[in-house]
Amino acid sequence: MTEEQFRAEKLYQATMNMARRMLSQGLISEEEYCQIDTIFLEKYCPVFGTLFSATPLTSRAQRVMYGSGKE
């Protein structure tokens, strides 16, 4: 893993940690969480983050990967 990949991974994981906290506190909806995930997957292109992005971390049975959820 290069230094840039490591940096991108850290930024993605930190961002999504904040988003998960916001979701658990009811500050954002599951749909908004999915949108945030999609935006930051595209922005940071994390190496390991893409492995976890397909794993539902919410009660929603199916997440839309790489989409806005409005398809």
Q: Could you give the maximum distance between any two Cα atoms of the chain, in Å? A: 36
Domain contains 8: yes
Token pair of 31, please? Answer: 């749909």
Domain contains 58: no
Domain contains 64: no
**Per-residue model confidence (pLDDT) at position 68:** 44
Domain contains 29: yes
pTM above 0.95, yes or no: no
**Per-residue model confidence (pLDDT) at position 56:** 56
Domain range spanning residue 39? 3-53
Domain count, the chain: 1
User: Rg (Cα) of the chain, in Å, rounded?
Assistant: 12
The pLDDT tens digits of the residues spanning 19-64 come to 999 999 999 999 999 999 999 999 998 887 655 555 555 554 444 4
In this predicted model, which residue has the larger pLDDT, 58 or 17? 17
Domain contains 19: yes
Domain contains 18: yes
